[in-house]
Amino acid sequence: MMNVLSSTSATQLAVAHWNESPLYLSEQERYSRYPWLYEAAEFRYHQGRRVLEVGCGSGCDVLQFAKHGAKAYGIDVTPAHVVLARQRLMGLAHIIYADGTRIPFASESFDYVYSCGVLHHLDKPREMVQEILRVLRPGGRFNVLVYNRWSHVPLILMLKHGLKWRLWIENSTAPVHIELYTVRKLRAIFAPIRLTIKKYECYHNQKLGQFIGWFLGAKGSKPVS
Ligand SMILES: C[S@@+](CC[C@H](N)C(=O)[O-])C[C@H]1O[C@@H](n2cnc3c(N)ncnc32)[C@H](O)[C@@H]1O
């Protein structure tokens, strides 16, 4: 595949990490592990609309948008994930090898942009946020999920693994850039766009998840004028 990477070391680390140990869950595994995700991602509500997933990994979520009638597109920088996503989607969605900081689509060409577990791997996250806003039509909505710093997960990993706890966040201990977010930091990255932020994921208990959930989900829209 032609090189489409921005030159940041964070992106290069991500590619090396997931090329070496690709992340593949069946639909059943993913939505029983994250039962809140189906509603949080809004898979069912974009029929006939143009939807882009940035950092689609092996394609499980982009498949759900496609199954529910969206014109679905996914991009990812890891070649091994692009291959797995294309195999999973079997033409139901367009999967493109591309960097989220240089999205290869025209401005104002999507109704909804979704991204789960990607922005926190970037060292220049505003570049991806600007690209998301560029490709959204005025009034179009985005939904971006990142890891929450004030969650039970860092605490548990610290107790289990000590100082090197961050190496156990992802699916392998190969190094990867991870920036944990606070609500304030997330709002600052999207400013001046206003966000609605919700927390998810604490042992399937959303009563706890809304306070210390491992994911911060940020929803908002591109201003009309
Ligand atoms: C933890 S995986 C999440 C994949 C998928 N969204 C999910 O929830 O299973 C992180 C993904 O972000 C992708 N990624 C990291 N940096 C990226 C960038 N700059 N542009 C596009 N994708 C990127 C990686 O290749 C990887 O597939």
Q: Which residues of the chain have pLDDT under 70?
A: 1-7
Tokens at residue 161, please? 């693994």
Supply the DSSP symbol for 167. Answer: G
pTM above 0.85, yes or no: yes
What's the rounded Cα separation, in Å, for the pair 143 and 112? 8
Element (H, E) at 156: helix 152-161
What's the rounded Cα separation, in Å, for the pair 118 and 76? 10
Position 116 scores a pLDDT of 98
Instruction: Please list, in sequence order, all residues whose beta carbon lies within 8 angstroms of the beta carbon of residue 91, skipping any fewer than 6 positions away.
Output: none
| Residue boundaries of the structural domains of the chain | 9-220
* Residue with CA nearest ligand 1 atom 8: 116
Position 135 scores a pLDDT of 98
Query: Which is the closest atom of ligand 1 to the Cα of 55?
Result: 22
Q: How are beta strands 215-221 and 196-200 bridged, if at all?
A: antiparallel
Position 119 scores a pLDDT of 98
**Ligand 1 centroid – CA 203 distance (Å):** 23
Number of neighbours of residue 73 by Cβ within 10 angstroms: 25
The mean pLDDT of the chain is 96
Position 206 scores a pLDDT of 87
**Ligand 1 centroid – CA 119 distance (Å):** 8
> What residues flank ligand 1, with Cβ below 6 Å?
11, 14, 18, 23, 54-57, 75-78, 81, 99-101, 116-118, 121-122
Supply the DSSP symbol for 207. Answer: H
Query: Which is the closest atom of ligand 1 to the Cα of 8?
Result: 19
Position 11 scores a pLDDT of 96
The distance of Cα 4 from the centroid of its chain, to the nearest Å, equals: 19
Please answer whether residues 62 and 82 qualify as being in contact, where contact means their C-beta atoms are separated by less than 8 angstroms.
Answer: no
* Residue with CA nearest ligand 1 atom 13: 55
Instruction: Please list, in sequence order, all residues whose beta carbon lies within 8 angstroms of the beta carbon of residue 136, skipping any fewer than 6 positions away.
Output: 108, 110, 111, 112, 113, 142, 221, 222
Distances (CA, A) of 90 to 42, 48, 113, 165: 22, 19, 21, 37
**Ligand 1 centroid – CA 157 distance (Å):** 22
Class in CATH terms, 9-220: alpha beta
**Ligand 1 centroid – CA 52 distance (Å):** 13
**Ligand 1 centroid – CA 225 distance (Å):** 31
* Residue with CA nearest ligand 1 atom 5: 57
Position 1 scores a pLDDT of 63
Please answer whether residues 171 and 23 qualify as being in contact, where contact means their C-beta atoms are separated by less than 8 angstroms.
Answer: yes
**Ligand 1 centroid – CA 79 distance (Å):** 11
